[in-house]
A and B are shown apart, each in its own frame.
Chain A
Amino acid sequence: MKKERLLHILPVSAALVLLWGMLVPPDAVYLRETVSDEFWLKKVFDAARYDIVVAGDSRVYRGVSPDDMAAALPGRRIFNYGFSSGILDGMMIAQAAKKLDPAGARTLVLAVTPHALTDKPNEALAEFLATPREERYTVLEGHGFLLFFHRMAPKRLLAMLRGEDIWTDMENYREHYDSRTGWVASSYQKEKGYAETLRSYRDMRKKFPVLPERVTELRSLVAGLRAEGIAVFFLYFPSSAEMRELERTWPGFDYAAIRRELESAGAVSLDDAVPSGLHSYDGSHLDGPSARTLSRSIGEALARAAGSGE
């Protein structure tokens, strides 16, 4: 009988794979990706429910710290439901409302930005929602498994063979993903000015004006939420002064009119709660300490609103 070659390959492969998995740790890029994948899928699919949910775009997920909001709202469960390039459309509002505990305080805070009211689709949120169930399961339940069988891009392997450090994150971005609250505390190791961000926003401003239909849709969504007994608050989310100036001339963006629309639908403005002196590390997003300052202030405003019965 001919020798079974499969039986030779199996132990050699297994030994090779086990040795590599045990001796070579995941490189920094893979570690960051694994943590980030888990963070986003937890944000979308975790079954936990909350009293207060803050929804919006990347300014929210980097700029709202639920724990700091909760300092003024003891006992309240708060969650950050911000997504990259998040749009305040029906999908975002419905998904955010699903995170509210029917037996809780049921409060939704919407972060308004010109970008969040454009015709762009809610790409990041839609992509996470469409994650195949096996991938979802692997990422959410198999963290240790993924770390053992870590992926290394060939260029990282080459760098490792050249003796370069691939275990320390060389990215300028400093990010701390907090899956429990949905916040990503962010900053740059070395800030490089606002020029790059402002340029990309100028491009976007040119291509994507604020849609009046989007504002009308948001108004009716807010009215619907109010009819269901959900308290709705909103604020024009702060960034840098340069960005605010850029957004002032964003086609179709008239914040005073939007504010009137939302207030007429029953939402309450939190614009007065935005403190001065906040710092953005890239021109658009608040850095960690500023995010905490803003969050505390929003929390206090919500506590006052609850106290006054709004």
Chain B
Amino acid sequence: MLFNSLVFVVFAFLFFLFWPFLKYTRRPAWIYLIVFSFFFYGWWDWRFLFLIILSGLIDFVAALLIVDRPRYRRLWLIVSMSGNLGTLAVFKYSRFVWENLHALVPLLPAAPPVNDFFLILPVGISFYTFQSMSYTIDVYRGEVTPTRSVLKFFAYLSLFPQLVAGPIVRARDFLHQLDAPRCTDEATRYRGLELILHGYFKKTVIADNLAPLVNAAFSATNPDPSSLYWWIVMVAFGFQIYCDFSGYSDIARGLAKWMGYDFMVNFNHPYTALSLREFWTRWHISLSSWFRDYVYIPLGGSKRRKGREAANLWATMLLSGLWHGASWNFVIWGGVHAGFLSLEKVFRYPALLVRTRPGRLIAFLIVSVQVLVAWVFFRAPTLPQALDILRIMFSFSGTLPATFGVSGLLLIGGMAAREFYIYLGGHPFFRRPAVQTAMLSLVVWAIIFLRGKGQEFIYFQF
């Protein structure tokens, strides 16, 4: 079920109709959450509910065994990891691996010898699998006490606002909230509403209206030969994916607030970053911190010698790329980021640049160019097309096509101005109640009447 669909509005209305009466009751509340969350997911394809149940049960039992049978705790962890990674391997990566094997060994058949069912990519599989994995790892490390209630565990794992596109909520941050949701006072309700409306605005007004511009550029048989055009298209895509994904996270956080829970901030104005390292502390924070805590640091992080540190960084970024999708383009996207991060580590130029105002502007431009270059690999359907586009971008030639409209530029400019405005702290005028009411009402109007043609959230495919 999509947040930007009428059916979700009805679904959310029904959920919040009874939730205030149940939220403090624990078991009934957990059952209520599970029923609604399973319905939310099953609306897409009910068959894959069994996958969530199966992989969840493996982790639930493994976590209990880690505590109850500590002698074999490593084995239970391996069982849990195998269940999660095996699910990902079969449903997300089998076709990719097979296609590459087929390219190497042409005697193999073109498609993997499995039922078509196993070639459907379950929506949000990477999100809930990583969430579930963090639970058993944290139990193994002794950082989380496993719950003995299967209802509580599934209420955590399947919680609908974040089930299919994050933020990846960790057990250590959330399980205790299920025992005692906060009272939703006026301020919380208002903040929740703000988040939800801003999330919908980002998704339906900005991302969905930029989508046709970006899609047209990437679906053309021959890429347009203008550098300026492609730079604008990539800025448009940068804002499209940001508004699409952070919009989803905002809606999820707002819904959680209305439920009496708190999800972590997943995006913190990433395009204002002055170094790529800072960018990764602001972009998809729940995933980057997941990779930091469960991959980068266990590999040794930055505590080892330089060569090993670089290898850890590269491994983490390449895996992060692969997490996004089973395609070499995503791996290269991770590799490009790793390359730029390595350059930052070696030359330490961001620290030098941020000391002066012009230096900060240069640092901002460097990060922007790096991120846009990397986005080309993320968005282009094929590697040759990505390379072709990069060649055009850096040829600095050609003029804008005559059909290029100004509304896309206005959307980008408006969104960029909004980002920097919020980042800089806003103006007291905009904090007056009457102005806030007028602004949010205008946001509601824009969501309804300026919405783009409904598109799925980009991160659903991951």
Question: Residues of A with Cβ closer than 8 Å to B?
Answer: 1-6, 8-9, 12-13, 16-17, 20-21, 24, 132, 134-135, 138, 149-155, 157-158, 203
A99 to B406, CA, bound (A): 46
A151 to B7, CA, bound (A): 18
**Subset of 6 A-B contacts with CB under 8 Å:** A12-B437, A13-B441, A13-B445, A16-B441, A20-B445, A134-B6
| Residues of chain A contacted by B441 (CB below 8 angstroms) | 9, 12-13, 16
Contact between A149 and B448, CB atoms less than 8 A apart: yes
Of the listed residues B436, B449, B451, B453, the one surrounded by the most CB atoms of chain A closer than 10 A to its CB is: B449
Main secondary structure of the interface of B (DSSP, over half): helix
B458 within 8 A of A: no
| Residues of chain A contacted by B442 (CB below 8 angstroms) | 16
B174 within 8 A of A: no
A158 to B411, CA, bound (A): 12
Contact between A5 and B453, CB atoms less than 8 A apart: no
From B410, B411, B438, B449, contact of A12 by CB (8 A): B438
- Nearest-Cβ distance from residue A171 to partner chain B, whole angstroms: 15
Question: Which of B149-157, B182-190, B305-313, B333-341 touches A?
Answer: B182-190
Contact between B411 and A17, CB atoms less than 8 A apart: no
- Nearest-Cβ distance from residue B333 to partner chain A, whole angstroms: 27
A89 to B33, CA, bound (A): 45
B405 within 8 A of A: yes
A4 to B450, CA, bound (A): 27
Contact between B445 and A154, CB atoms less than 8 A apart: no
Of the listed residues A8, A16, A150, A154, the one surrounded by the most CB atoms of chain B closer than 10 A to its CB is: A154
Contact between B445 and A17, CB atoms less than 8 A apart: yes
Contact between B448 and A17, CB atoms less than 8 A apart: yes
| Residues of chain B contacted by A20 (CB below 8 angstroms) | 445, 449
| Residues of chain B contacted by A158 (CB below 8 angstroms) | 406-407, 410
Q: How many residues of B contact A (CB 8 A)?
A: 33
B440 within 8 A of A: yes
Q: Per-residue 0/1 for B434-462: is the Cβ within 8 Å of any A Cβ (1 yes, 0 no)?
A: 00111011101100111111100000000
B193 within 8 A of A: yes
A3 to B205, CA, bound (A): 30
| Residues of chain A contacted by B187 (CB below 8 angstroms) | 2
Contact between A5 and B433, CB atoms less than 8 A apart: yes
Q: Which residue of A lies closest to B456 (CB)?
A: A132
From B5, B6, B440, B452, contact of A9 by CB (8 A): B440
Known contacts A6-B190, A158-B406: does B437 contact A151 (CB below 8 Å)? Answer: no
A154 to B410, CA, bound (A): 9
- Nearest-Cβ distance from residue B191 to partner chain A, whole angstroms: 10
Contact between A5 and B445, CB atoms less than 8 A apart: no
Q: Per-residue 0/1 for B162-195: is the Cβ within 8 Å of any A Cβ (1 yes, 0 no)?
A: 0000000000000000000000011101100100
Contact between A154 and B449, CB atoms less than 8 A apart: no
| Residues of chain A contacted by B205 (CB below 8 angstroms) | 154
| Residues of chain B contacted by A16 (CB below 8 angstroms) | 441-442, 444-445
A157 to B442, CA, bound (A): 15
A20 to B449, CA, bound (A): 9
Q: Per-residue 0/1 for B187-209: is the Cβ within 8 Å of any A Cβ (1 yes, 0 no)?
A: 10110010000000000010001
**Top-8 shortest CB links A-B:** A155-B407, A13-B444, A134-B7, A12-B441, A13-B441, A154-B407, A2-B186, A8-B437
| Residues of chain A contacted by B6 (CB below 8 angstroms) | 134, 138
From A8, A9, A150, A203, contact of B449 by CB (8 A): A150
A114 to B404, CA, bound (A): 35
| Residues of chain A contacted by B406 (CB below 8 angstroms) | 155, 158
Q: Which residue of B lies closest to A203 (CB)?
A: B221
Contact between B437 and A5, CB atoms less than 8 A apart: yes
